[in-house]
Structure 1
């Protein structure tokens, strides 16, 4: 009986310790909090501002959703622009560990970020500008392993449209194609 009580206490203490350590590890400071300068275009901040702007404007969106060619179209008001633009926000490449992981090619009207290493999910980001204002953001993401391959092509043109094209190939199940396009 004594062995059971001490084992139970050990399990409880160990569980609490692991939870505390895990929650501490999840609360890493953002790069901005450390005072470090961002190396690449700030995708997170840009889409946070766009989500706020679109929430304020509350535009009617002509949205088409397609899966393997079967499409549905509706005119609607988006209730959460933060969720709607989440795939764009998740393509942020300003992680401290990635500060030397992308080649940067800057032109007069665009900046192109290309991944140097194949294991990076975000393969390419193209930021187009005119008179200092962003006119389009195009992103290519790719995730692959021995079971599946997923490619995402994201395009956002402020005030015009956004589109998400996703191709997923799963070894046993086959391929799926998804397309979302919202026109303002």
Structure 2
């Protein structure tokens, strides 16, 4: 025999509403969506534009990849510039919680952002300009804890090259170094 349970229907509705509400709460709005002014150079926006520009150009790249002492070089076309430049994009420091976390030093041809606190992953960003245009971006990232230490050195010169150097030291397993260099 079929038993009607009115609470079962309401439990399902409440569960769906709770799930939708919690997923909405987990989506933090980007700083651009809130209308807030960016405190620092818009690294994320810059590299998103560069990825779009390079995708449209589809340039031939002399790419070298090295792991420890082994190096391999090829002349390639990059399939996804967004993925290729992802480490640069992830180094963006325009998070609302970090708006007072970096010292800024501006000169005639460069701007340097230096982390005030050791727990910040992005330690330093140097943006060099010529004639008002970005000529080079250099970034140093560092992550460390009891088990490992990772350092990334990123360089990007539009129309010239990009370089990613990464060293990892894991307590029990030892160290590794990686290098990716692309020359346009």
* Common fold: TM-score over 0.5: yes
The reply to whether residue 145 of structure 1 matches residue 150 of structure 2 is no
Write the distance in 2 (CA, Å) between the matches of 1:40 and 1:114. Answer: 11
Larger Cα-atom Rg: 2
Give TM-score, length-normalised by structure 1: 0.89
Query: 2:154 matched to which residue of 1?
Result: 154
- Structure 1 unaligned blocks of 5 or more: 1-11
Alignment of 1:1-20 (within 5 A): 19-20=19-20
Gaps of 5+ in 2: 1-11
How much does 1:15 deviate?
8.2
Q: Which residue of 1 aligns with 2:32?
A: 32
Farther off after superposition, 150-159 or 24-33: 24-33
Aligned to 1:132: 132
Residue 28 of structure 1, CA deviation: 1.1
Structure 1's consecutive aligned runs of 4 or more residues displaced over 3 angstroms after TM superposition are 12-22
Aligned length: 175
Structure 1 counterpart of 2:99: 99
Show the counterpart of 2:122.
122
Provide the C-alpha distance between the structure 2 equivalents of 1:177 and 1:42, rounded to a whole number of angstroms: 29
SS of residue matched to 1:48: helix
In angstroms, what is the RMSD of aligned CA positions? 1.9
Find the residue that maps to 2:32 and give its secondary structure: coil
Name the TM-score, length of structure 2 as normaliser.
Answer: 0.89
Q: For residue 32 of structure 1, give the secondary structure of its aligned residue in structure 2.
A: helix
